[in-house]
Amino acid sequence: MGYFLFFLLAALTVGAVLAMIISKNQAYNALFLILAFACLGGIFALLEAPFIAVVQIIIYAGAIMVLFIFVIMMINVRYGIPAEKKKWTIYLSIVLAVVLIIELILSIKGAFTLPVSTAIIKAGPTDLGRLLFTKYLYPFEITSILIIAALVGAIVLIKKKEKK
């Protein structure tokens, strides 16, 4: 059952990413990316990491993708990159792809030689919450200042201009 689900999700992820690259419409691209993220979340759930699975879906598929779609709809780009610029992006992506392949080969090689750790650390939301309010209380509190600063900054910049 586990294997079946894994291969199903993996195939769906790869398929969604491929469809995202091939499709010309930017809104579809974003939607396919959401599908890919959701499938990745499923794979995390299979690995017994429910928290990461949920966060993956909430943050990536939820928050970040909504932002993407907003931006796409707002700037309304119909046509992709012009042809002469596209050449450059293709060359650049070939180079980056080669780097990525080398990296993958190295890490897979390393993964087989490493001893398999028997003690599986189960980090659920409880542990995370406990850490957040004990060891990382101070950084957690600083984040609240950060959010106030961001809110105040955003509001003052978009506030309605006064009429003369």
Q: What is the DSSP string of 84-101?
A: HHHHHHHHHHHHHHHHHH
Using CB under 8 A as the binding rule, whether residue 154 contacts another protein is answered as yes
Measured over the CA atoms of residue 127, residue 56, residue 136 and residue 143, the dihedral's sign is negative
Whether the Cβ atoms of residue 27 and residue 73 lie closer than 8 Å to each other: yes
Q: How many residues does the chain have?
A: 164
Say whether residue 155 binds another protein (CB under 8 A).
yes
20-35: burial string, b at 16+ Cβ within 10 Å, e else: beeeeebeebbbbbbb
Q: How far apart are CA 101 and CA 89, in angstroms?
A: 18
* Interface residue with another protein, options 124, 125, 129, 139 (CB under 8 A): 139
If one asks whether residue 75 binds another protein (CB under 8 A), the answer comes out as no
| 135 contacts another protein (rule: CB under 8 A) | yes
For the bound state, the minimum distance from the C-beta of residue 16 to another protein, rounded and expressed in Å, comes to: 26
User: Under the criterion CB under 8 A, does residue 128 sit at the interface with another protein?
Assistant: no
Q: How far is CA 43 from CA 13, 107, 119, 124, in A?
A: 10, 19, 21, 16
Taking contact as CB under 8 A, which single stretch among the options 33-41, 66-74, 120-128, 145-153 is the one that binds another protein?
145-153
Single out the segment in contact with another protein by CB under 8 A; choices: 48-56, 77-85, 103-111, 132-140: 132-140
Does 100 sit near another protein (CB under 8 A)? no
Residue 143 contacts another protein per CB under 8 A: yes
Q: Give the nearest distance from C-beta 152 to another protein in angstroms.
A: 5
**Which residues bind to another protein, rule: CB under 8 A?**
135, 137-139, 142-143, 145-146, 148-150, 152-157, 159, 161
